Structure 1
Amino acid sequence: MPPCRDLSSILLRQHVSLSLSLSEIAAAAKEMEPPSTEAEPLILVRKDPSGVAHIVINRPRSLNSLTRSMMVDLAGAFRSLDADDSVGAIVLSGAGRAFCSGVDLTAAEAVFKGDVKDEESDTVCQMGRCRKPIIGAITGFAVTAGFEIALACDVLVAGRGTKFIDTHARFGIFPSWGLSQKLSRIIGPNRAREVSLTATPITAEMAEKWGLVNHVVDADKVLTKATEVAEAMLRNNRDLVLRYKAVINDGLKLDLSHALALEKARAHDYYDGMSKEQFQMMQKFISGRKSQPSSKL
């Protein structure tokens, strides 16, 4: 996880070049919102009647840098929504111009010296345990811890101009939320080594080309597209969506032969455990879907 109290001030003070122009940094600082007159939760949760839940990292004046308490609240939000039967999919986004700029440097000691083995308050651990599909709506910057949170999503939608940056090596912070292992499995080890060891940003367009990002759209369309993806999932059999996500993710931890065996075993368990009534419901669902328009995705 990275330190990032305030992306613009850190980069300028340290004279660190991450292939971000000073004009971009200045624009980010300029467009930060003025202080709010009312205290707002730093992690916002909203549930739509459709079954899509929205989690928003809400600290735009600091480019959504994370404190320890924010990480705990974010982990709790995923845990709570996972247990909520009215929720079928989750869209994760950041308020303002950045998705998440990493860990707040003023809170770094509490983060790095805290109880790192406490899985209940571990954001990425709870995202990994969440049965519901998580769609990341990424705009602006996703820096180190923010990059790791993005990698914990199941689908990524990024705005044009978005940059994914790993600054672990730059600041001497050892990764602990999976970036060193996940990125290489997605974009390939050679690309991942260059990205992480040089702290080179990945643009949204390059991320899409490399298979890291599913969709690249205009920045003001990111939330709309992410919500459309979530709603498309909810038009399917919700129980099977959860089971399908689980077998894909669990299979990725195995070699192909064992992953295929896992799929076969879970298929047998699924059909063996299906009652006559459930089988009839499945047939009815299939019959009803034949008259529905196909998904736009």
Structure 2
Amino acid sequence: MTNLVIRDDRNGLALLTLNRPDKLNSLTVGMFRELRVHIAEIAKSAEIGCVILRGAGKCFSAGHDLADISKGEEVPSRGWHSETLRLMEKLPQPVVAAVHGHCYTGALEVALAADFIVASDNARFGDTHAKWALTPVWGMSQRLPRRVGIATAKRLMFTADMIDAQEAVRIGLAEYSVPHENFDAEIESLAQKILTNSTFSHAANKRLLDATDASPLDAGLQWEVMESEGVGPDMQDRIAAFAKKGK
């Protein structure tokens, strides 16, 4: 039986690949079940310092499988998909969505639950809920405006327009884009940059950012002073290694 989400661990990197290439990685309950298992295992792993989420074949994902929607999906509980993405979002490790090709609607909701998106220059993004008389329940209404601003989120949601990688970067949906022929190398390079730095800092900074997102500035500054975890267990070793390198 083919795995719907493949996990490949590489020296501290967990590469998660959505694996229904014959169906453009359209998202099913079964795929989410496997994704959730991987998320739970990674959350407990001290060996994993970075997570990359991408799609097999021609694209990241064309979105929620419409055939599954039309016949009625059986999910463990109401809000289960949204809960799964929130668990991914709250992983202590940095999570990067590496998007090439299609990234529509449900797939965009998945990508938005990553810490940020890196796009191939052939990536295309869009929210088509309104095209099918649907409303988001996986997080689009909350994460998209936080990423791009409420007016831009409304434009994308109301028009169901598809946008390319250049426009996605311009509006802040994706952090940056790279030529498709360099995409794999860039993702590997990015992961190595993240892995070079402290896993303690990554986890602590994610908690700080999550706790103070959209807070008033003074409240956020007070939270940082009172709740910041300060010095990690590897600080002295890192400073000593830097000092030794400089001699």
Long gaps (5+) in structure 1: 1-38
Is the CA contact (8 Å cut-off) linking 1:68 and 1:110 kept in structure 2?
A: no
Query: 1:102 offset after TM fit, Å?
Result: 1.3
Query: 1:222 offset after TM fit, Å?
Result: 2.2
Distance 2:43 2:214 in 1: 22
- Residue 244 (structure 2) pairs with residue 283 (structure 1): no
SS of aligned partner of 2:137: coil
Return closer, same or farther for 1:290/1:252 CA change in 2, 3 Å cut-off: farther
- Residue 206 (structure 2) pairs with residue 245 (structure 1): yes
- Residue 44 of structure 1 aligns with an amino acid whose one-letter code is I
- Residue 128 of structure 2 aligns with an amino acid whose one-letter code is T
Aligned residue for 1:41? 3
Aligned residue for 1:149? 110
Aligned residue for 2:73? 111
Aligned residue for 1:102? 63
Query: 1:253 offset after TM fit, Å?
Result: 4.4
Q: Deviations over 1:105-125 (max 9, x none)?
A: 222244376522447x94312
SS of aligned partner of 2:32: helix
Distance 1:263 1:230 in 2: 27
Return closer, same or farther for 1:118/1:191 CA change in 2, 3 Å cut-off: closer
SS of aligned partner of 1:111: coil
Return closer, same or farther for 1:292/1:143 CA change in 2, 3 Å cut-off: farther
Distance 2:221 2:39 in 1: 29
- Residue 46 of structure 1 aligns with an amino acid whose one-letter code is D
The 5 A counterparts of 1:1-297 are: 39-49=1-11, 51-108=12-69, 109-111=71-73, 115-118=77-80, 122-267=83-228, 269-270=229-230, 278=233, 281-290=234-243
SS of aligned partner of 1:136: strand
What is the total number of aligned residue pairs between the two structures? Answer: 245
Query: 1:250 offset after TM fit, Å?
Result: 2.0
Return closer, same or farther for 1:106/1:286 CA change in 2, 3 Å cut-off: same
Query: 1:284 offset after TM fit, Å?
Result: 3.2
Distance 2:8 2:116 in 1: 19
Is the CA contact (8 Å cut-off) linking 1:138 and 1:222 kept in structure 2?
A: no
TM-score (norm 1): 0.76
- Residue 185 of structure 1 aligns with an amino acid whose one-letter code is R
Q: Which has the larger radius of gyration?
A: 1
Is the CA contact (8 Å cut-off) linking 1:116 and 1:122 kept in structure 2?
A: no
Aligned-residue Cα RMSD (Å) equals 2.1
Return closer, same or farther for 1:156/1:292 CA change in 2, 3 Å cut-off: farther
Is the CA contact (8 Å cut-off) linking 1:53 and 1:91 kept in structure 2?
A: yes
Q: Deviations over 1:151-185 (max 9, x none)?
A: 11112110112111101111111101211122122
Identity, % of aligned positions = 28
Is the CA contact (8 Å cut-off) linking 2:89 and 2:95 kept in structure 1?
A: no
- Residue 282 of structure 1 aligns with an amino acid whose one-letter code is M
- Residue 3 of structure 2 aligns with an amino acid whose one-letter code is P
Is the CA contact (8 Å cut-off) linking 1:55 and 1:91 kept in structure 2?
A: yes
- Residue 247 of structure 1 aligns with an amino acid whose one-letter code is L
Is the CA contact (8 Å cut-off) linking 1:92 and 1:136 kept in structure 2?
A: yes
